Amino acid sequence: MSRQPPRLALTPGEPAGIGPDLVVRLAREGSPAELIALADPALLIARAQRLGIRLSIEDFDPQAPPRPTQPGHLSVAPIALAQPCTPGRLDPANGHYVTRALIQACDGCLDGTFDAMVTAPVHKGVINDAGIPFTGHTELLAERCGAEPVMMLAVPELRVALATTHLPLCEVPRAITPERLRRVILTLDHDLRSKLGIHKPRILVCGLNPHAGEGGHLGREEVEVIQPVLAELRSRGLDLVGPLPADTAFVPDKLAQADAVLAMYHDQGLPVLKHLGFGRAVNITLGLPIIRTSVDHGTALDLAGTMEADLGSLIAAVEMATEMAGSAARQSRRAAT
Protein backbone atom coordinates (compact mmCIF):
# COMPACT_ATOMS: atom_id res chain seq x y z
CA MET A 1 0.00 0.00 0.00
CA SER A 2 1.56 3.28 -1.07
CA ARG A 3 1.83 6.31 1.16
CA GLN A 4 2.63 10.01 0.96
CA PRO A 5 5.56 10.33 0.90
CA PRO A 6 6.61 6.92 -0.44
CA ARG A 7 8.91 4.81 1.71
CA LEU A 8 11.85 3.55 -0.35
CA ALA A 9 14.28 0.78 0.60
CA LEU A 10 17.78 1.80 -0.45
CA THR A 11 20.45 -0.91 -0.76
CA PRO A 12 24.03 0.47 -0.97
CA GLY A 13 25.35 -2.62 -2.77
CA GLU A 14 29.02 -3.59 -2.62
CA PRO A 15 30.40 -2.06 0.59
CA ALA A 16 33.86 -1.51 -0.91
CA GLY A 17 32.43 0.34 -3.92
CA ILE A 18 30.84 3.73 -4.44
CA GLY A 19 27.36 2.66 -3.30
CA PRO A 20 27.83 3.72 0.35
CA ASP A 21 29.37 7.01 -0.83
CA LEU A 22 26.37 7.75 -3.02
CA VAL A 23 23.91 6.87 -0.25
CA VAL A 24 25.46 9.25 2.28
CA ARG A 25 25.79 12.00 -0.33
CA LEU A 26 22.13 11.54 -1.24
CA ALA A 27 21.19 11.74 2.45
CA ARG A 28 23.11 15.00 2.70
CA GLU A 29 20.83 16.42 0.00
CA GLY A 30 17.61 15.03 1.47
CA SER A 31 14.64 13.70 -0.50
CA PRO A 32 10.86 14.18 -0.77
CA ALA A 33 10.65 10.40 -0.28
CA GLU A 34 11.50 8.58 2.93
CA LEU A 35 14.77 6.78 2.29
CA ILE A 36 15.54 3.72 4.40
CA ALA A 37 19.08 2.39 3.95
CA LEU A 38 19.46 -1.34 4.53
CA ALA A 39 23.08 -1.30 5.61
CA ASP A 40 25.62 -1.42 8.39
CA PRO A 41 25.32 1.93 10.20
CA ALA A 42 29.02 1.87 11.06
CA LEU A 43 29.89 1.57 7.36
CA LEU A 44 27.77 4.60 6.46
CA ILE A 45 29.14 6.69 9.33
CA ALA A 46 32.73 5.79 8.43
CA ARG A 47 32.17 6.63 4.76
CA ALA A 48 30.46 9.92 5.63
CA GLN A 49 33.40 10.89 7.85
CA ARG A 50 35.87 9.98 5.10
CA LEU A 51 33.95 12.23 2.68
CA GLY A 52 33.62 15.05 5.19
CA ILE A 53 29.82 14.76 5.35
CA ARG A 54 27.88 15.37 8.55
CA LEU A 55 25.29 12.61 8.82
CA SER A 56 22.81 11.82 11.57
CA ILE A 57 21.64 8.19 11.55
CA GLU A 58 18.57 6.82 13.29
CA ASP A 59 17.09 3.32 13.45
CA PHE A 60 14.20 2.70 11.08
CA ASP A 61 10.83 2.37 12.80
CA PRO A 62 8.36 0.65 10.44
CA GLN A 63 5.46 1.66 12.71
CA ALA A 64 6.16 5.38 12.44
CA PRO A 65 4.39 7.38 9.72
CA PRO A 66 6.59 8.02 6.67
CA ARG A 67 8.23 11.40 6.32
CA PRO A 68 10.53 13.05 3.80
CA THR A 69 14.24 12.56 4.32
CA GLN A 70 15.64 15.74 5.82
CA PRO A 71 19.08 16.91 4.64
CA GLY A 72 21.81 15.34 6.72
CA HIS A 73 19.57 12.62 8.19
CA LEU A 74 19.08 8.98 7.24
CA SER A 75 16.99 6.12 8.64
CA VAL A 76 18.78 2.78 8.62
CA ALA A 77 17.50 -0.79 8.93
CA PRO A 78 20.74 -2.24 10.32
CA ILE A 79 22.50 -5.20 8.72
CA ALA A 80 25.95 -6.03 10.08
CA LEU A 81 29.02 -6.45 7.89
CA ALA A 82 30.89 -9.70 8.44
CA GLN A 83 34.23 -7.87 8.25
CA PRO A 84 35.25 -4.20 8.39
CA CYS A 85 35.37 -2.67 4.93
CA THR A 86 38.14 -0.72 3.21
CA PRO A 87 37.05 1.40 0.21
CA GLY A 88 38.24 -0.16 -3.03
CA ARG A 89 39.17 -3.52 -1.46
CA LEU A 90 36.78 -6.42 -2.11
CA ASP A 91 36.24 -9.02 0.60
CA PRO A 92 34.21 -12.18 -0.12
CA ALA A 93 33.39 -12.37 3.59
CA ASN A 94 30.86 -9.58 2.99
CA GLY A 95 29.10 -11.30 0.06
CA HIS A 96 26.25 -12.50 2.25
CA TYR A 97 25.82 -8.98 3.63
CA VAL A 98 25.09 -7.69 0.12
CA THR A 99 22.52 -10.37 -0.75
CA ARG A 100 20.89 -10.15 2.68
CA ALA A 101 20.17 -6.47 2.11
CA LEU A 102 18.59 -7.24 -1.28
CA ILE A 103 16.43 -10.02 0.15
CA GLN A 104 15.22 -7.88 3.05
CA ALA A 105 14.40 -4.99 0.72
CA CYS A 106 12.50 -7.28 -1.65
CA ASP A 107 10.59 -8.97 1.15
CA GLY A 108 9.77 -5.58 2.64
CA CYS A 109 8.28 -4.48 -0.67
CA LEU A 110 6.27 -7.69 -0.91
CA ASP A 111 4.81 -7.31 2.58
CA GLY A 112 4.07 -3.58 2.22
CA THR A 113 6.76 -2.22 4.54
CA PHE A 114 8.31 -0.39 1.57
CA ASP A 115 6.70 1.09 -1.53
CA ALA A 116 9.72 0.44 -3.75
CA MET A 117 13.37 -0.52 -3.65
CA VAL A 118 16.32 1.34 -5.17
CA THR A 119 19.59 -0.50 -5.62
CA ALA A 120 23.18 0.71 -5.85
CA PRO A 121 25.68 -1.46 -7.74
CA VAL A 122 26.89 -4.87 -6.59
CA HIS A 123 30.02 -6.80 -7.58
CA LYS A 124 28.89 -10.16 -8.96
CA GLY A 125 32.34 -11.72 -8.86
CA VAL A 126 32.95 -11.24 -5.15
CA ILE A 127 29.46 -12.52 -4.31
CA ASN A 128 30.21 -15.69 -6.25
CA ASP A 129 33.60 -15.89 -4.53
CA ALA A 130 31.63 -15.99 -1.27
CA GLY A 131 30.03 -19.23 -2.46
CA ILE A 132 26.69 -17.64 -3.41
CA PRO A 133 25.36 -18.50 -6.90
CA PHE A 134 24.54 -15.01 -8.16
CA THR A 135 24.05 -13.68 -11.68
CA GLY A 136 22.55 -10.31 -10.83
CA HIS A 137 19.94 -8.26 -9.01
CA THR A 138 17.26 -9.06 -11.56
CA GLU A 139 17.65 -12.81 -11.32
CA LEU A 140 17.65 -12.77 -7.51
CA LEU A 141 14.49 -10.64 -7.42
CA ALA A 142 12.82 -12.79 -10.06
CA GLU A 143 13.41 -15.94 -8.01
CA ARG A 144 12.31 -14.23 -4.79
CA CYS A 145 9.11 -12.92 -6.39
CA GLY A 146 8.38 -15.94 -8.59
CA ALA A 147 8.28 -13.70 -11.68
CA GLU A 148 9.74 -13.34 -15.17
CA PRO A 149 11.12 -9.81 -15.34
CA VAL A 150 11.87 -7.52 -18.26
CA MET A 151 14.79 -5.09 -18.21
CA MET A 152 14.17 -1.48 -19.21
CA LEU A 153 16.47 1.52 -19.01
CA ALA A 154 15.11 5.05 -19.14
CA VAL A 155 16.24 8.63 -19.51
CA PRO A 156 13.81 11.54 -19.93
CA GLU A 157 14.12 11.33 -23.72
CA LEU A 158 13.88 7.57 -24.21
CA ARG A 159 12.85 4.23 -22.69
CA VAL A 160 14.46 1.04 -24.02
CA ALA A 161 13.32 -2.45 -23.01
CA LEU A 162 15.11 -5.66 -23.98
CA ALA A 163 13.72 -8.88 -25.41
CA THR A 164 16.95 -10.65 -24.36
CA THR A 165 19.52 -9.42 -21.86
CA HIS A 166 22.92 -10.90 -21.04
CA LEU A 167 23.34 -13.46 -23.81
CA PRO A 168 26.21 -14.06 -26.22
CA LEU A 169 25.21 -12.63 -29.57
CA CYS A 170 25.27 -16.05 -31.22
CA GLU A 171 22.52 -17.23 -28.83
CA VAL A 172 20.14 -14.34 -29.41
CA PRO A 173 18.29 -15.56 -32.55
CA ARG A 174 17.16 -18.86 -31.04
CA ALA A 175 16.19 -17.09 -27.80
CA ILE A 176 13.68 -14.87 -29.61
CA THR A 177 10.78 -17.29 -29.62
CA PRO A 178 7.11 -16.36 -30.07
CA GLU A 179 6.50 -17.23 -26.40
CA ARG A 180 9.30 -15.00 -25.10
CA LEU A 181 8.47 -12.09 -27.39
CA ARG A 182 4.76 -12.25 -26.53
CA ARG A 183 5.52 -12.30 -22.79
CA VAL A 184 8.00 -9.43 -22.98
CA ILE A 185 5.70 -7.17 -25.00
CA LEU A 186 2.70 -7.87 -22.76
CA THR A 187 4.79 -7.17 -19.67
CA LEU A 188 6.15 -3.95 -21.16
CA ASP A 189 2.69 -2.73 -22.19
CA HIS A 190 1.17 -3.65 -18.81
CA ASP A 191 3.85 -1.96 -16.70
CA LEU A 192 3.97 1.18 -18.83
CA ARG A 193 0.28 1.49 -18.00
CA SER A 194 0.24 0.35 -14.37
CA LYS A 195 3.61 1.59 -13.09
CA LEU A 196 4.24 4.64 -15.24
CA GLY A 197 0.66 5.79 -15.79
CA ILE A 198 0.75 5.78 -19.61
CA HIS A 199 -2.85 5.21 -20.72
CA LYS A 200 -2.19 3.56 -24.10
CA PRO A 201 1.53 3.12 -24.70
CA ARG A 202 2.93 3.10 -28.21
CA ILE A 203 5.87 0.71 -28.49
CA LEU A 204 8.40 0.66 -31.33
CA VAL A 205 9.69 -2.87 -31.91
CA CYS A 206 13.08 -3.36 -33.53
CA GLY A 207 13.80 -6.15 -35.95
CA LEU A 208 16.66 -8.53 -35.23
CA ASN A 209 18.49 -8.34 -38.55
CA PRO A 210 19.86 -5.44 -40.61
CA HIS A 211 17.01 -3.63 -42.38
CA ALA A 212 14.60 -5.74 -40.28
CA GLY A 213 15.44 -8.75 -42.44
CA GLU A 214 14.81 -7.10 -45.82
CA GLY A 215 11.64 -9.14 -46.37
CA GLY A 216 13.35 -12.40 -45.43
CA HIS A 217 16.46 -11.88 -47.59
CA LEU A 218 18.65 -10.91 -44.60
CA GLY A 219 17.18 -13.31 -42.07
CA ARG A 220 13.86 -15.00 -41.38
CA GLU A 221 13.24 -14.04 -37.73
CA GLU A 222 11.14 -11.01 -38.63
CA VAL A 223 8.93 -12.96 -41.03
CA GLU A 224 8.59 -16.12 -38.96
CA VAL A 225 8.51 -14.79 -35.38
CA ILE A 226 8.34 -11.03 -34.89
CA GLN A 227 5.69 -10.04 -37.43
CA PRO A 228 3.20 -12.78 -36.45
CA VAL A 229 3.51 -11.94 -32.73
CA LEU A 230 3.03 -8.21 -33.40
CA ALA A 231 -0.03 -8.92 -35.56
CA GLU A 232 -1.53 -11.11 -32.83
CA LEU A 233 -0.98 -8.51 -30.13
CA ARG A 234 -2.29 -5.67 -32.28
CA SER A 235 -5.51 -7.64 -32.65
CA ARG A 236 -5.68 -7.58 -28.83
CA GLY A 237 -5.48 -3.78 -28.76
CA LEU A 238 -1.77 -3.09 -28.26
CA ASP A 239 -0.24 -0.15 -30.13
CA LEU A 240 2.86 -1.65 -31.71
CA VAL A 241 4.99 -0.29 -34.55
CA GLY A 242 7.41 -2.57 -36.38
CA PRO A 243 9.44 -4.55 -36.80
CA LEU A 244 11.62 -1.54 -37.60
CA PRO A 245 15.23 -1.48 -38.76
CA ALA A 246 17.21 -0.68 -35.63
CA ASP A 247 19.33 1.88 -37.44
CA THR A 248 16.28 4.08 -38.05
CA ALA A 249 14.07 3.17 -35.06
CA PHE A 250 15.84 5.74 -32.89
CA VAL A 251 15.52 8.77 -35.15
CA PRO A 252 13.87 11.75 -33.42
CA ASP A 253 10.63 11.84 -35.42
CA LYS A 254 9.86 8.20 -34.57
CA LEU A 255 10.80 8.55 -30.90
CA ALA A 256 8.63 11.65 -30.58
CA GLN A 257 5.57 9.47 -31.23
CA ALA A 258 6.55 6.53 -29.01
CA ASP A 259 6.58 5.70 -25.30
CA ALA A 260 9.21 2.95 -25.45
CA VAL A 261 11.42 1.00 -27.83
CA LEU A 262 11.82 -2.76 -27.59
CA ALA A 263 15.28 -3.88 -28.70
CA MET A 264 15.95 -7.51 -29.49
CA TYR A 265 19.29 -7.66 -27.67
CA HIS A 266 21.40 -5.74 -25.18
CA ASP A 267 23.77 -3.86 -27.48
CA GLN A 268 21.11 -3.06 -30.05
CA GLY A 269 19.32 -0.57 -27.83
CA LEU A 270 21.40 0.36 -24.81
CA PRO A 271 24.30 2.12 -26.59
CA VAL A 272 21.80 4.65 -27.97
CA LEU A 273 20.23 5.24 -24.57
CA LYS A 274 23.55 5.50 -22.76
CA HIS A 275 24.86 7.91 -25.38
CA LEU A 276 21.87 10.10 -24.62
CA GLY A 277 22.13 9.96 -20.85
CA PHE A 278 24.83 7.88 -19.21
CA GLY A 279 25.07 8.84 -15.56
CA ARG A 280 21.42 9.86 -15.37
CA ALA A 281 19.76 6.73 -16.72
CA VAL A 282 17.64 4.45 -14.56
CA ASN A 283 17.44 0.67 -14.76
CA ILE A 284 13.81 -0.38 -14.15
CA THR A 285 12.84 -4.01 -13.60
CA LEU A 286 9.42 -4.65 -15.13
CA GLY A 287 7.29 -7.74 -14.59
CA LEU A 288 7.76 -7.92 -10.82
CA PRO A 289 4.98 -7.52 -8.23
CA ILE A 290 7.17 -4.81 -6.68
CA ILE A 291 8.80 -1.60 -7.90
CA ARG A 292 12.57 -1.76 -8.33
CA THR A 293 14.86 0.83 -9.87
CA SER A 294 18.63 0.94 -10.02
CA VAL A 295 21.59 2.99 -11.17
CA ASP A 296 23.07 2.55 -14.64
CA HIS A 297 26.70 2.06 -13.55
CA GLY A 298 28.99 -0.29 -11.67
CA THR A 299 30.83 -0.31 -8.35
CA ALA A 300 33.73 1.93 -9.52
CA LEU A 301 36.10 0.59 -6.86
CA ASP A 302 38.79 3.10 -7.85
CA LEU A 303 36.46 5.98 -6.90
CA ALA A 304 35.25 4.55 -3.58
CA GLY A 305 35.88 6.81 -0.62
CA THR A 306 36.17 9.92 -2.80
CA MET A 307 33.72 12.57 -3.94
CA GLU A 308 34.37 11.79 -7.62
CA ALA A 309 31.49 9.39 -8.36
CA ASP A 310 28.53 10.93 -10.17
CA LEU A 311 25.40 11.04 -8.00
CA GLY A 312 23.07 11.68 -10.95
CA SER A 313 21.93 8.13 -11.66
CA LEU A 314 21.03 7.40 -8.02
CA ILE A 315 19.04 10.65 -7.83
CA ALA A 316 17.25 9.67 -11.04
CA ALA A 317 16.56 6.15 -9.70
CA VAL A 318 15.04 7.55 -6.51
CA GLU A 319 12.94 10.05 -8.47
CA MET A 320 11.72 7.29 -10.79
CA ALA A 321 10.83 4.98 -7.88
CA THR A 322 8.94 7.86 -6.25
CA GLU A 323 7.03 8.55 -9.47
CA MET A 324 6.22 4.88 -9.99
CA ALA A 325 5.03 4.45 -6.39
CA GLY A 326 2.71 7.42 -6.87
CA SER A 327 1.38 6.02 -10.14
CA ALA A 328 0.79 2.61 -8.54
CA ALA A 329 -1.12 4.28 -5.70
CA ARG A 330 -3.34 6.16 -8.16
CA GLN A 331 -4.01 2.94 -10.06
CA SER A 332 -5.00 1.21 -6.82
CA ARG A 333 -7.35 4.00 -5.85
CA ARG A 334 -9.04 3.94 -9.26
CA ALA A 335 -9.40 0.16 -9.07
CA ALA A 336 -11.02 0.46 -5.63
CA THR A 337 -13.68 2.94 -6.76
Judging by DSSP bridges, how do beta strands 158-162 and 150-155 pair with one another?
antiparallel
Is 199 labeled as ligand-binding?
no
Beta strands in 150-222 (DSSP E): 150-155, 158-162, 202-206
Is 266 labeled as ligand-binding?
yes
Instruction: Compute φ and ψ for 13, nearest 5 degrees.
Output: 75, -145
Is 96 labeled as ligand-binding?
no
Is 217 labeled as ligand-binding?
no
Cα–Cα distance, 29 to 305 (Å, whole number): 18
At position 223, the amino acid (one-letter code) is V
Cα–Cα distance, 227 to 216 (Å, whole number): 11
- Say what angle helices 41-51 and 19-29 make with each other, to 10 degrees: 80
Cα–Cα distance, 79 to 81 (Å, whole number): 7
Cα–Cα distance, 99 to 128 (Å, whole number): 11
Is 292 labeled as ligand-binding?
yes
Cα–Cα distance, 75 to 7 (Å, whole number): 11
- Going edge to edge, which strands form the sheet with 56-59? 56-59, 73-78, 34-39, 7-11, 116-119, 292-294, 282-286, 150-155, 158-162, 260-263, 202-206, 239-244
Is 73 labeled as ligand-binding?
no
Is 123 labeled as ligand-binding?
no
Is 124 labeled as ligand-binding?
no
Omega within 30 of 0 (cis) for the link into 271: no
Where is the binding site for a divalent metal cation, in residues? 166, 211, 266
Where is the binding site for substrate, in residues? 137-138, 274, 283, 292
Where is the binding site, in residues? 137-138, 166, 211, 266, 274, 283, 292
